[in-house]
Copies of this chain bind each other. A is one copy, B any other.
Amino acid sequence: MKRVTIKDVAERAGVSYGTVSRALSDHPEISEATKRRIRDLCEEMGYVPNMAARGLVKQSTQVIGLIVPDVSNPFFSEIALEIEMTARAKGYHILVCNTTRSTEWEYEAAEQLLRQQIDGLIISPVTPESMARVQELCGSLPLVCMGDNHNGGCTYVSNDNVRGGYIGGRYLTQLGHRQIAFIGGRTTSNTNRLRTEGFRRAMAEAGCEGIVVECPPEMDDNRRYNELAHQFLAARPPVTAIFSYSDRFALGVMQAASELGLRIPEDLSLLGYDNIVYASLPRINLTSISHHKRTLGRMAVNRLIARIEGDTAEYHDILEPELIIRGTCRGIRSSL
């Protein structure tokens, strides 16, 4: 079954194919009558426009690339959904690639997306260094970064991670905790660096020492994170509160705690970051730092489309994080 092209339609309509093209793109200089006739004919013949061919001449494909670490992570899948919906409403499509946090895959994904002639790229980079390479690769192609894993020189939209780290840390000290650990994300992540910084600031302000546990970069999946939490909890019983780099990791801590017989929040207060939807489940009920993921996705698309349409400015949007209090942190009487 051959695809029906603009030429086939033109032939049946008894006009030149240039006319069909113009009718379809609603050119003003075509009579309403012909337009109507041609459109009906297209419908009838089952004509499907070929965007690739159009892209060739218009130098634009209406396709946006999206590179994320892992869509199966609810944090990213929530964002991905919002991105797809927003983009579609504006006539763009989304080509997704997952990097599984490999900088090589990330670079390769960017290359392949470029080959597909995407009009722009939204990326949540693995590290600032990998982002720099992607930026160079992309040249003047519209590019928007989500998060803080970049070294500047690009439009980005993020949340105030230092502030989030600070708010979280302060909340815990205000509850009376003194032995607080921040269990971090991968050391190569700038986002992690910023959240840690905010946490440290809050600790300093309260005169607490604040333990920071780092997650080695090769530490990949949840299970291994759970092990990390396990080791830490087993070795360090005096900690009364843990602030986790992300909700996902907090779930790992929960698991480890449960395996060690530590009750949350009775024996251990736990605070997450990201406020993924599962944090609000009744049995999880995780207190978390929330940032506006949907807004983030939407803004990323809007900034990108603006760039695609000619806006050359570089924007830096920082969303305000917010503490969502649920049931995993409890106050401690300030003893002594």
- Residue numbers of A with Cβ under 8 A of B are 1, 46, 48-53, 55-56, 61, 63, 70-74, 77-78, 80-81, 84-85, 88, 93-98, 100, 111-117, 139-140, 251, 254-255, 258-259, 277-278, 281-284
Contact = CB atoms under 8 A, between A and B. Distances in A.
How many copies of the polypeptide does the oligomer hold?
A: 2
Contact of A74 (B72, B94, B281): B72
Contacts of A88: 97
Contacts of A56: 50, 52-53, 56
A96 B96 contact: yes
Contact of A284 (B1, B49, B113, B283): B283
Contacts of A115: 48-51
A112 B80 CA distance: 19
Which of A56, A100, A281 has most chain B Cβ within 10 Å? A281
A154 to B, nearest CB: 16
A111 to B, nearest CB: 7
A89 to B, nearest CB: 11
A258 B282 contact: yes
26 contacts: A1-B140, A48-B115, A52-B52, A52-B55, A52-B117, A56-B56, A71-B80, A71-B81, A72-B74, A72-B77, A72-B81, A74-B74, A77-B80, A85-B100, A88-B97, A93-B95, A93-B97, A93-B112, A93-B113, A94-B96, A254-B282, A278-B278, A278-B281, A281-B283, A283-B284, A284-B284
Nearest to A294: B72
A259 B277 CA distance: 18
A33 to B, nearest CB: 26
Contacts of A140: 1
A77 to B, nearest CB: 4
A281 B278 CA distance: 10
Given A53-B56, A116-B93, A283-B283, A72 B63 contact: no
A20 to B, nearest CB: 16
A5 to B, nearest CB: 11
B63 A95 contact: yes
